[in-house]
Chains A and B, each alone.
Chain A
Amino acid sequence: MALSLQPYLIQKIDDQTYEFNTENGIEYLCSFLSFSEYFANRPDIAPYFFSFNLELKDKNVKLPRGIDKRIADTVITIVGDFLNAQINAVVYVCDNSDGREAARSRKFLSWFDYYEHPSTKIIQVSNNFDAGGLFIYTTLLVHKKNKRIKDIILAYLDLTKEDEK
Chain B
Amino acid sequence: MTKVEMFQKMLDDQKIIREALQNGIPLKELEKTHGLKFATLPDPKN
Contact = CB atoms under 8 A, between A and B. Distances in A.
Interface residues of A, number: 41
Contact of A134 (B8, B21, B38, B40): B8
B9 to A, nearest CB: 8
A37 B19 CA distance: 22
A42 B6 CA distance: 16
Interface string A46-57: 000011010111
Interface of A: 7, 9-12, 14-18, 29, 31-36, 38, 50-51, 53, 55-59, 78, 81-82, 88, 93, 95-97, 131-134, 136, 159, 163
9 contacts: A15-B40, A18-B44, A33-B37, A81-B42, A93-B14, A131-B3, A131-B4, A131-B7, A159-B3
